[in-house]
Amino acid sequence: MTVPEPTRPATEEGPEMPMSTRRVAFVDSGLGLLGYADALHALRPDLGLVLSLDPDNMPYGPRTPDEVRQLILASARATLPFEPSAIVVACNTASVHGLDALRAELEPGVPVIGTVPAIRPAAASGGPVAVWATAATTSSDYLRGLVDAFAADVPTHAVAALGLAEAVESGDLQAIDECIAYAASRTPAGVRSLVLGCTHYGLVVDRILAALGPHVTVHDSPVPVARQTLRRIGLDPDAAAPEAGVEAVLVSGRPSHLPDAWASYPAGRRLLAAPVVERRAGTSR
């Protein structure tokens, strides 16, 4: 499969930045990958970032497991010409249905790291616990299995945050606040820990906390996933390393640019401020 050379965004000016020698790819249906890429960039800013989104086919939640598997395989394969040192599946639904297939196809050559809702640490910190997720996830055997395995003795409530992922994807702040208010109204009083069961939700965690109050602790997974990614590729955190940045953006397999909508979120603004590196697929790993 041939992927054309990514191009520098039209707003980017100045000399070409030096290419990083290692890079990590992130795959997701949409903008949920921003928080995960941002967390890794904070720990190892010298790693190049390849971001593969699939807006043509989102949301993944209502799709069959086989559809999700094929879509996430396609998104991951699109990153391979950029020779990533690892691929992070920054999507809970895709991790559930596609992680085994990705690892069977790509490992050991390219480590694949998945995401799982942080129910175990939330339960360990004490309940009651609420899990905000898409309607498909809240009713899934997968979520029930996680609760049974890690929070059987802790009151746990699954809350469908209807429309929130789509609102985050659109960058519509009014719609985001309306969806958060809806989910907050269905979250039992007294909840001490909130698990974010969709990677999109972490982009608006401040707005979620404002709706629920300061007594709630949010549990999300970008930093643990970033640390696991570094372990898998044999690197230690080094926040002082020379900064690389975004090397490629793929939209449903097509080379694209850094969208302006990313500026709606702190994680997106930080990535937009990082260097943008032009490089040809298939150059140094």
The DSSP symbol for 17 reads P
Q: Which helix H or strand E contains 262, and what residues bound it?
A: none
Whether the CB-CB separation of 200 and 32 falls below 8 Å is answered with yes
Nearest Cα to 100, choosing from 61, 74, 69, 67?
69
CA 159 to the chain's CA centroid: 20
Cβ-based neighbours of 204, under 8 Å, separated by 6 or more = 164, 168, 176, 180, 265
C-alpha to C-alpha distances, 111 to 46, 104, 185, 200, 225, nearest whole angstrom: 19, 10, 40, 23, 13
CA 198 to the chain's CA centroid: 8
CA 25 to the chain's CA centroid: 11
By annotation, the residues acting in catalysis are 91, 198
At residue 22, φ and ψ (nearest 5 deg) are -135, 150
Token pair, residue 94, equals 């895709």
Q: How many Cα atoms occupy the beta-carbon half-sphere of 16 within 13 Å? A: 9
Token pair, residue 266, equals 């702190």
| Residue type, position 204, single letter | V
